Amino acid sequence: MKESPLFVQTYDLLRWLLPATIKFPRTQRFVLAEAVQRTALRFQEDILEAAYSPQPQALLRQADVSLAKLRLYLRLCHDLELLQRHQYEHVSRLVDEIGRLLGGWRKAQSGKQTG
């Protein structure tokens, strides 16, 4: 599991995202920064729980929802100029790659369920 690209990419996302959101202005640190941090950490918890679950489908679905929320919050951060353009592009690439990896895992699980 540690070597799984999804877990590596998610860890890299958190390692980049947490310090970036701590630098938000004080007015947003307790609102939007907290929402971003909480959602990103929730995503990691979801995939970790799914990795240990004999029936991970529901947890993977929840992880997908968490990732969609994170995308929305990051877009809002960019629109409110809390993230610079290059930061938003970087984090968007990370989140897109994570989404592809999660989609592959979900597809593999649905194949096991029907097969």
pLDDT 10s digits, 80-91? 999 999 999 999
Helix (H) or strand (E) holding 110: helix 85-114
Q: For 82, left (φ over 0), alpha (ψ -120 to 50), or beta? A: alpha
- In the numeric block, the tokens 């993230």 are attached to 83
Q: Is pLDDT of 1 > 60?
A: no
- What DSSP state is assigned to residue 1? -
Q: Give pTM, 2 decimals.
A: 0.92
CB atoms within 10 A of CB 50: 22
Mean pLDDT across 76-104? 97
Q: Go through the domains of the chain in sequence order and give each one's CATH number.
A: 5-114 (1.20.1440.60)
13-51 confidence digits (pLDDT tens): 999 999 999 999 998 888 999 999 999 999 999 999 999
Mean pLDDT across 69-88? 97
List the helix and strand counts (H, then E) for the chain: 5, 0
